């Protein structure tokens, strides 16, 4: 199975006062996923949206809600996010008590399961679970805040994961922009989270297209 490009604007960079219209604007501009950053002020030093906001948003968008939970004890939130209408529940490997059991629970609740790893976590730690999950998220910044600089040291992790799991959805999040997308895409990332570079662009639509085109070029090169 050949992977395909998926562009996931991070709504953390959007206007929370009009979240539903921001989501629709991103979908109209060509987004594949809507990346929702969930932070608890404990696992990461910031506090953002939670399940009640996802629940309120769900009736107003048909978009794929890619929920990235930067939280301690992610197990306690599976039911709430499933009921709220999340499409993908991505938890941090570093926060999970039993990774395989958590992936199974997420699937049983009808959601796709993602596993995220922080920049200093060895990618090999996620190998035992990558075959069970639907997506692996490699953080290319320290989780918790938007607008950070892309960490090139994380690229080798993407490459190692792609070599071992050629058909896996590999997501990268943090500092993705025109000057960093090629490195991530050529290493094997196909799901691109971008906040500032999309929302602050003169034309978010053109930026989404640029990111997707760059990923497609890298995919075509690797399969040639």
Q: Which residues are annotated as a binding site?
A: 10, 35, 37, 68, 144-147, 173, 175, 195-196
CA dihedral angle for residue 67, residue 62, residue 205, residue 15, rounded to 10 degrees: -60
Tell me the C-alpha distance between 207 and 176, whole Å.
Answer: 11
Active-site residue set:
37, 173
194, 176 contact by CB (below 8 A): yes
Binding-site residue numbers for substrate are: 10, 68, 144-147, 175, 195-196
Binding-site residue numbers for a divalent metal cation are: 35, 37, 68, 173
Q: At 173, phi and psi to the nearest 5? A: -145, 120
Tell me the C-alpha distance between 162 and 222, whole Å.
Answer: 11
Tell me the C-alpha distance between 73 and 81, whole Å.
Answer: 14
CA dihedral angle for residue 127, residue 128, residue 134, residue 135, rounded to 10 degrees: -30
Distances (CA, A) of 198 to 5, 9, 30, 117, 211: 16, 7, 11, 23, 10
């Amino acid at each position: 199975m050949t992977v395909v490009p998926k562009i996931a604007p991070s709504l953390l960079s959007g206007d929370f006062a009009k979240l539903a219209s921001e989501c629709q604007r991103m979908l109209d501009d060509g987004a594949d996923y809507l990346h929702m950053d969930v932070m608890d002020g404990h696992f990461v030093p910031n506090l953002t949206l939670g399940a009640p906001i996802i629940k309120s948003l769900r009736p107003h968008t048909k978009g794929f809600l890619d929920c990235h939970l930067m939280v301690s004890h992610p197990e306690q939130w599976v039911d709430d996010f499933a009921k709220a209408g999340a499409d993908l529940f991505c938890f941090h490997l570093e926060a999970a008590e039993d990774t395989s059991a958590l992936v199974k629970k997420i699937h049983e609740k009808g959601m796709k399961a993602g596993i995220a790893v922080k920049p200093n976590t060895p990618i090999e730690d996620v190998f035992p679970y990558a075959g069970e999950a639907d997506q692996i998220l490699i953080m290319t910044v320290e989780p918790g805040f938007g607008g950070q600089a892309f960490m090139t040291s994380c690229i080798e992790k993407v490459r190692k994961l792609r070599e071992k799991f050629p058909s896996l959805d590999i997501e990268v999040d943090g500092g993705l922009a025109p000057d960093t997308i090629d490195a991530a895409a050529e290493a094997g990332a196909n799901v691109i989270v971008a906040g500032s570079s999309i929302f602050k662009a003169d034309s978010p639509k053109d930026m989404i297209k640029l990111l997707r085109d760059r990923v497609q070029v890298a995919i075509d090169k690797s399969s040639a």
